[in-house]
Amino acid sequence: MRVSAKDIDFRKLNQQIKSTPEDVYIEACYGQRFLASGLAGTKQVTIQGTPGNALGAYLDGATLVVEGNAQDAVGDTMNGGKIIIHGNAGDELGYAMRDGRILVKGNAGYRTGIHMKEYREKKPVIVVGGQVGSFLGEYLAGGLIVVLGLGAQEAPVGNFTGTGMHGGKIFIRTEQELKGLPAQVTAELAGTDALAEIVPYVQEFAAYFGMEAEALLNSRFYRLTPNAKNPYKQLYTAY
Partner 1 sequence: MAVRTYYPLYTIVRDSRKCIGCRACERQCGNGAHIYHPETDALIENDEKCVNCQRCVAICPTRALQIEKSHNHYRENANWSAEAMDEIYRQADSGGVLLSSMGNPKEYPVYFDHLLVNASQVTNPPIDPLREPMETKVFLGSKPSRIERDAQGRIQCNQMPHLTLSMPVMFSAMSYGSISYHAHECLARASKELGIFYNTGEGGLHEDLYRFGDNTIVQVASGRFGVHPRYLNSGAAIEIKMGQGAKPGIGGHLPGTKIVGDISRTRMIPEGSDAISPAPHHDIYSIEDLRQLVYSLKEATNYEKPVIVKIAAVHNVSAIASGIARSGADIISIDGFRGGTGAAPTRIRDHVGIPLELALASVDKRLRDEGIRDQISIVAGGSIRSSADVVKAIALGADCVAIATSALLALGCHLCRSCHTGRCNWGIATHVPELVKRLDPEEGSKRLVNLLTAWRHEIKEMMGGMGINSIESLRGNRLMLRGVGLNEKELSILGIQHAGE
Shortest distance, CB of residue 109 to partner 1, whole angstroms?
A: 12
Give exposure, 187-202, as e/b (b: 16+ Cβ within 10 Å).
beebeeebbeebeebb
Span 37-96, contacts to partner 1 by CB under 8 A: 37-38, 40, 53-54, 57-58, 60, 72-73, 76-77, 79, 92, 95-96
Draw the binding track, 125-144, toward partner 1 (x: CB under 8 A; -: no contact).
Answer: ----------x--xx-xx--
What is the C-alpha to C-alpha distance for residues 170 and 223, in angstroms, rounded to an integer?
6
Nearer to partner 1, 6 or 11 (CB): 11
Distance between CA 122 and CA 99 in Å, rounded? 5
- In 10 A of CB 209, how many CB atoms? 17
Q: Does 166 bind partner 1 (CB under 8 A)?
A: yes
Q: CB nearer to partner 1: give 179 or 239.
A: 239
**Beta carbon nearer to partner 1, 117 or 173:** 117
- One DSSP character per residue, 40-102 reads BSS-EEEEEEE--SSTTTT-EEEEEEESS---SSTTTT-EEEEEEESS---SSTTTT--EEEE
Q: Which is nearer to partner 1, 111 or 173 (CB)?
A: 111
What does the binding site for partner 1 look like in residue numbers (CB under 8 A)? 10-11, 14, 33-34, 37-38, 40, 53-54, 57-58, 60, 72-73, 76-77, 79, 92, 95-96, 98, 111, 114-115, 117-119, 122, 135, 138-139, 141-142, 164, 166-167, 229-239
